[in-house]
Amino acid sequence: MHNDLIVIDGLQYSNWNRTIFEQLRQGGVTMVHVTIVYHEQIRETLLRISEWNRHFEMNSDLIMPVKSADDIRLAKQLGKVGIMFGAQNCSAIEDDIGMVEVMRELNLMIMQLTYNNQSLLASGCYEAVDSGVTRFGRQVIKEMNRVGMVVDMSHSAERSTLEAIEISERPIVISHANPSSFHAAKRNKSDTVLKALGESGGLLGFSLYPFHLKNGPDCSLNEFCDMVANTADLMGIDHIGIGTDLCQEQPVSILEWMRNGRWSKDMDYGEGSKSDADWPRSLSWFKDSRDFPNITKGLQTRGFSDNEVAKIMGLNWLNFLDDALQPKL
């Protein structure tokens, strides 16, 4: 069954190379949302896009850019992996609302309003005080809605996330997180947030990053699928998908960049502590993209129907993006 599915991974930040592209195809992945920037500003973002243009040129037999939801279907037909650009912070637009449209024209399809800290747009999940969506944030959400750029609140705090759901005229996503009822990480989301997300037509991508899972790297496939089933009951089967947060072949310096950017001289340990200063050990059943069939099999074993499995593995993302990436005329 897995080979027939449209499989969408709602987020990866791997050290991209041909071997990883081959693994994506071997795992049956149709499209992956790739983080091209964290704290990088406009010029650096343009350089990352340029680097991806080179990837597309050198690996055209394996990957293709996604400029619309129909490109995802085309990637499936061609047996290629679609690549959709995203940003895990709002640094890519700096303090210029005009950059929202510019970045969307350069195929930046998804942008988080915050990473872990307070941004110009909203509060991150590690701030002591969550002041909600800012004045600038309200304007940026409106502009993102207009140009067809998806609002992502994966690293945002509770009030900010709930306000973004309310303010946005189009459904938003939490591309890579899990219910805090499953594991109480600061990055994971409360039932209040998840209910509001589902009721508004939004989408949650389940994370496979060990710091987001109960028992960390020892979380079993059965436990993961139980979490999926419980969240389906809470949000509805049409509002859940996968967003692995796979960070493959990245050095520790990249982990430090993700957590520290340029804002701190001290090491920020993110979801962990000093003992978690390195990348976590991989899950036994999901080491890289070749293991996507294990998720499909696990969901089937848990009792999901074939139609439900197809939705979770990619159709829900595809249906969401069909509308979300369309600019408003």
Predicted confidence at residue 273, as pLDDT, reads: 53
Predicted confidence at residue 265, as pLDDT, reads: 84
Q: How much is the pTM? A: 0.96
Give the residue from 56, 54, 79, 58 showing the smallest Cα distance to 67: 56
- Regions of the chain with pLDDT less than 70: 269-277
Predicted confidence at residue 254, as pLDDT, reads: 83
Contacts of 206 (CB under 8 A, 6+ apart): 176, 177, 178, 224, 227, 228, 231, 240, 241, 242, 243
Predicted confidence at residue 271, as pLDDT, reads: 54
Predicted confidence at residue 38, as pLDDT, reads: 94
Predicted confidence at residue 255, as pLDDT, reads: 81
Distance separating alpha carbons of residues 91 and 107, to the nearest angstrom = 16
Distance separating alpha carbons of residues 61 and 58, to the nearest angstrom = 8
pLDDT, tens digit (0-9, with 9 covering 90-100), for 123-162 = 999 999 999 999 999 999 999 999 999 999 999 999 999 9
Alpha carbon distances (Å) from 72 to 62, 69, 126, 322: 13, 5, 34, 10
CATH class of 2-324: alpha beta
